[in-house]
Structure 1
């Protein structure tokens, strides 16, 4: 072991790269890491010079990883997660349960129930949420995650619970909804549509809604967002008509910051599942957590 030598980039550079890749923006990465955007850009440029390849496509909006960047990101995230787990294991005396999910699932579905889940698991268990872009969640599983959240039309073969059904309808402020109803009657122009700018990997979008509801055909997208959380916030601020995914939009609807179009929910029979990974099958705390998730997200609705 005395002869082992590592020639790795600085941790600051790796942290900058990970934040830009995950948040899809240099400014957001700088804000999260409490530094300046030029400092983030300098770290990324130094990495690109070192490796002799571009890691990001800066001409896209939002910023996206190149092929080489995706390869580096997948490997680096696994390494950082293993290191983080090792550090936590030094100080942790109980059982760790790691949940892997997208940012939207974490922010809108899990965080409101995080305290409830931790209390029910008991003081001997440590609950961790690991967020990743949906297409990278499988890579994150390899770091030792116990439960993963995935969309599917067919139930998984692993032990699982249904978190929510895929059901959508337009949502907006009362003023925007009134404008949308007027547009359907031909009394005014339709409000702008708020849309996700990235691939949502099978979850329904405005084109799916318009195919099922021709009256909305021709309505134009006014603004795009790289996060569904940001989209809902913009809809609640009156920026336009958002597409509400049931359960995800429920907190906004219950507070009254968003209201529904007076139409039925639309579904393609896709569900969001929480399922045990190969690590979770051998973790009793993860199996208990799966049961708690079933109680926290009753699948049946009136």
Structure 2
């Protein structure tokens, strides 16, 4: 006897009732009434010409034929659930973009812009990894990254995203700030730095300040931590413009006298040269590269 498609709801009701040995519990699982489950089971029994359940005052129990069908139906349902779960995972992976980038850039530059991306691409899901270690783009690794550097990495395609600039900032309430009138005066303040390759000496040279002693009082491995140190009045920090902008806008930091030094390194969108980006990742790359460029600070 060929299994007709109109019997599939009855089989689903039977399989649930067989697992629970209870029509009411099956009805709750399937969002039906107990009478609807009973109707499905009786219809299936009528179609097959066998009794699947023994009805008694305390509930129901499977007959030998019912047990045989329950085993087959349970196995079939489990197989289908496994396939459906796999399809859902496949869909999620297709629409998920794994991005690796810097914590400082994520916190101050990327996250404020992500609502725009989410509105434009509501089906794309993002995983943003800000681990300190340089990520490898191998199988199972990220789809793409935003890196700070010279723009050349073996095996990676790199698209220039934006340049950056360095200038000094400090809390408006930093002690001694009222005496700062020129770049040379900044050297008298406690200085905060991060591990960037360009530092205070480079900036002072660009500001035409020479023959001074530069003492870096506080050093942090993360640029956001250095900016927060300045917010907490530990000293003046040499800030990267892309990271300092939200602090300046909030008024918790202010720019100090002196030039904006163009950084030797910029920001690049990178991904493996040998791998073709999936559509969701390509959409994210295109969106990043289409973002308007901020004017260079003066």
- TM-score normalised to the size of structure 1? 0.58
Superposed displacement of residue 283, structure 1: 0.7
1:152 is aligned to 149
Structure 2 counterpart of 1:193: 191
Question: Aligned equivalents of 1:183 and 1:214: distance in 2?
Answer: 8
The size of the alignment, in residue pairs, is 207
- With 255-264 and 158-167 compared, the bigger mean Cα shift is at 158-167
Q: Deviations over 1:88-143 (max 9, x none)?
A: 937837511111112112212212222222222222x211101121xx22326653
Q: 2:161 aligned with 1:166, yes or no?
A: no
Matched, 1:208 2:205: no
Contact 2:95 2:280 in 1 (8 A): yes
Over alpha carbons, which structure has the higher Rg?
2
Q: How far apart in 2 are the matches of 1:173 and 1:141?
A: 43
RMSD, aligned CA: 3.2
Q: Summarize the Cα distance change of 1:142–1:250 in structure 2 as closer, same or farther, 3 Å threshold.
A: farther
Flag structure 1 segments of 5+ consecutive residues without an equivalent: 1-85
Structure 1 contact 146–278 (Cα < 8 Å) conserved = no
Residues 299 and 274 of structure 1, relative CA distance in 2, 3 Å threshold: farther
Query: Are the structure 2 counterparts of residues 289 and 143 from structure 1 closer, same or farther at C-alpha, using a change threshold of 3 Å?
Result: same
Structure 1 pair 287/182, CA: closer, same or farther in 2 (3 Å)?
closer
Specify the SS of the correspondent of 2:249. helix
2:99–2:128 CA contact under 8 A, matched in 1: yes
Aligned equivalents of 1:296 and 1:286: distance in 2?
16
Work out the CA distance in 1 between the residues paired with 2:149 and 2:238: 20
Determine if contact 1:170/1:260 at 8 Å carries over to the other structure. Answer: yes
Q: Is residue 270 of structure 2 the alignment partner of residue 275 of structure 1?
A: yes
Alignment deviations for residues 232-280 of structure 1 (CA, whole Å, 9 cap, x no partner): 1121222210011011111011122111123221024421111233586
Distance 1:110 1:183 in 2: 31
Which of the numbers 260, 263, 273 marks the counterpart of 2:258? 263
The answer (yes or no) to whether the contact 1:169–1:260 under 8 Å persists in 2 is yes
Question: What's 1:13 paired with?
Answer: none
Task: Please state how far the C-alpha of 1:301 moved relative to its aligned partner.
Answer: 4.0
Change (3 A) 1:179 1:266: same
